[in-house]
Chain A
Amino acid sequence: MIRVNGEFRQRARLDKNFNAGQCFNCGTCTALCPVGMAILPRQLFRYVLLGAEEKIVEYSDSIYSCLLCRMCEENCPEGVLIAENIRALRRYLVEDVYHI
């Protein structure tokens, strides 16, 4: 069960590099991802959009598995800057979760 966390959502939306909200859920990115993880990257972004902060921490492995190779981005029909969005999530983990 995901409870929508407005505050977390708001933070993601304010990050200028996070534009995954444009996604219309075609699944191109997931289908092309060489890493082949189920939630990478589309569903990961959905957790952010729905404000599921705990899921982001739970799936931090996936976040760090991304190759930033942009295969998905190259083919994204909505022009989502996927690699940049992933980096935004890593930044969030580094700063707010690991406190490095």
Chain B
Amino acid sequence: MTEKKIGAFICRCGGNISDYVDVEQVRKEIAREDNVTVAGINMFSCSDASQEDMIANIRENGLDGIVIASCSPKLHLNTFRAMAERAGLNPYQYIQVNIREQCSWAHTHNKDAATRKAVSLVREGVAKAKLSEPLTPIELTAQPSVMVIGAGLAGMRAALALGEMGVTVYLVEAAPEPGGSIKGRKSLFPDNSSGHELVESLLERIRANGNIVLYTSAEILEKTGSVGNFTIRIQVDGKNETTLSVGAVIVSTGSGSYRPTDGEFGFGLSCVLTLNQYIDMLDSSTDTFLLNGRKIRNIAYIYCVGSRRTGKEGNRYCSRYCCSAAVHTAVRTHEVDPSIGQFHFYRDIRTYGAYEELYHEALKKGSVFLKYGLKDPPQVTEVSGSGLRIRAKDLLTGAETVELETDLVVLVTGMVPGENSQLIDILKLPVGKEGFFNEIHPKLRPVETVMDGIYIAGACQGPKTLSESVVSGMAAVAKSASLVLTGKVNLDPFVARVLTEKCTGCGECISSCPYGAISMKETPDGTVVEITESLCKGEGACVAICNEEALEIKGYGHNMIKAMIEALGG
């Protein structure tokens, strides 16, 4: 590669560089470097005129590598890569050297030293350019289809959205019926919509859409392939197996519900129910609202059952939806029978955002809220003849003990992760410490997982209200659609590669890769590792642990880095 022709251009940045760095000196020094065919100075490299000059220069001199020493690559790397491309050069053979933010501006008091540093930096750039090779982004084709696992509301809505975009969707549900946890619900918060009707209307639209195939009582058996091209084998009704190929997968398997332990706040006594059990009762009651044939006078709710615990029992996290669900249920109860007294033993009422209006409604209709502390939780005991007695310290009334005779105790229980061990195993889904599926980053990439092409939506990711589940389902639609609609996946070319001659096949690197991109390969010359480029993220965790220097990231090769070090250190 000694015959490589490199052009180096030093930018004055209208004085921002040239006031503190002797650019002419830098140019002279660089012009003496091997392979440097052209060394020039620009007033503003980023200006159109300078770019045109450089393009002409590249073409006239047949340059196959250029270095521009100017500002931070964060500002103009893409500008100049595009310029290189216009000049017919591979954009990855363009090297930017930062002599503004990391040289002239940092060393305004010592022009000599700054100039020396600039020379070193440009030499480093030239060294890099010498060894730079043309790279092309990895392009994968993507199947125009998506599998949605879990036909709860989030999954159904996501499937519908994709179907309406013309994407083929396989909606796979483990239960015999779609609809998830809400299909039997009469009235959902916050707007009292009927769960049954919601599910039915969505199902109707799904059936009317020709792009969606619904599998119920279905099980995922196996997944192979990677982003854009997954092959997934499923089994329906325990017998029929089907193999489907999809570009992306959305997992929306929902959550489970916390089951109190026996005796936890009286759980196990006949009139102690979980919130879901109580809502079932409310949903199934007709005009008269009776408990064991008796009119209900008082109901007590105990909040945060199984949530926000610090000890061994229950979960540490807040289950987010339960406060709103419970106050909504109380409002419904008030509407059924205004004479029922409803007492809520809570810790913090978390009816965030507009759900606050539900809380207000419950208060207005006569619900009384008592605040308990973890030190003195409510005690539920059975009273012969008259039902239940609940006793607690109310922190809002000077921590006085309040005793209440009640007919019913409702334990407001939260969400827990669903039982998904098989799915986790097959899809290699990342699971957080609470057992919910984990996104890559809650803010940057909230529905993506470390497995490219596999997205999560709804309560399988963590407790969510119904509308929040749908929102995340739709967000997953957006991400998967951008994958399958364009039909291709473009990945940065900076992925790992194996220098097979150095690889000893020790396999140390396999476990170091968090993305599962490295595997063993048998070759006639022995066992070496290989990289699945579509899985590799190019961060280089494997590079660091390979003692043989048999792994490197393209564009950051061992030889290149060492040459750069020598150029800088020399």
Q: Residue B397 contacts which of A3, A6, A22, A46 (CB distance < 8 angstroms)?
A: A46
Q: How far is the CA of A38 from the CA of B397 in the complex (A)?
A: 11
Contacts of B297 in A (CB 8 A): 6
- Bound complex: CA A9 to CA B338 (Å): 13
**Cα-based distance from A54 to B209 in the complex (angstroms):** 66
The answer, yes or no, to whether A94 is at the interface (CB within 8 Å) is no
Chain B residue nearest to A4 (CB atoms) is: B404
B369 to chain A, nearest CB (A): 7
Complex interface: chain A residues within 8 A of B394 (CB): 2, 46, 50
Minimum distance in angstroms from A16 CB to a CB of chain B: 13
- Which residues of chain A come closer than 8 Å to B366, judged between CB atoms? 13, 21
Chain A residues with Cβ below 8 Å from B402 are 1-2, 4, 50
A58 smallest CB distance to B (angstroms): 12
- Within 367-411 of B, Cβ neighbours of A (below 8 Å) are at 367-371, 394, 396-398, 400-405
Cβ–Cβ contact B368 & A50, under 8 A: yes
Shortest Cβ distance from B230 into chain A, in angstroms? Answer: 50
Contact between B397 and A21, CB atoms less than 8 A apart: no
CB distance from B499 to the nearest CB of A (A): 67
- Closest-CB distance, B271 to chain A (whole angstroms): 17
Which residues of chain A from 1 to 32 have any CB-CB distance to chain B below 8 Å in the complex?
1-4, 6, 9-10, 13, 19, 21-25
Chain A, interface size category, equals 20 to 34
Among B343, B394, B396, B404, max chain A CB count under 10 A is at B396
Q: Are B349 and A43 in contact (CB under 8 A)?
A: no
How far apart are B368's CB and chain A's nearest CB, in angstroms? Answer: 5
A9: nearest chain-B partner, CB-CB: B341
Of all chain A residues, which has the CB nearest B390? A4
Measured between alpha carbons, how far is A19 from B360 in the docked complex, in Å? Answer: 12
With both beta carbons as reference points, the residue of chain A lying nearest to B370 in the complex is identified as A50
Please determine whether A49 and B368 come into contact, CB atoms closer than 8 angstroms.
Answer: yes
Q: Report, nearest first, the 5 A-B pairs whose CB atoms are least far apart.
A: A4-B404, A46-B397, A1-B401, A2-B402, A22-B363
- Enumerate chain A interface residues (CB-CB to B < 8 A): 1-4, 6, 9-10, 13, 19, 21-25, 38-39, 43, 46-47, 49-50, 78
Q: List 11 A-B contacts (CB under 8 A).
A: A2-B403, A4-B298, A4-B404, A13-B366, A21-B363, A22-B364, A24-B360, A25-B369, A25-B371, A43-B398, A78-B363
10 more A-B residue pairs beyond the given contacts A4-B404, A21-B367, A46-B396, with a C-beta to C-beta distance below 8 A:
A1-B401, A1-B402, A2-B400, A2-B401, A6-B297, A9-B341, A24-B349, A24-B369, A47-B397, A78-B360
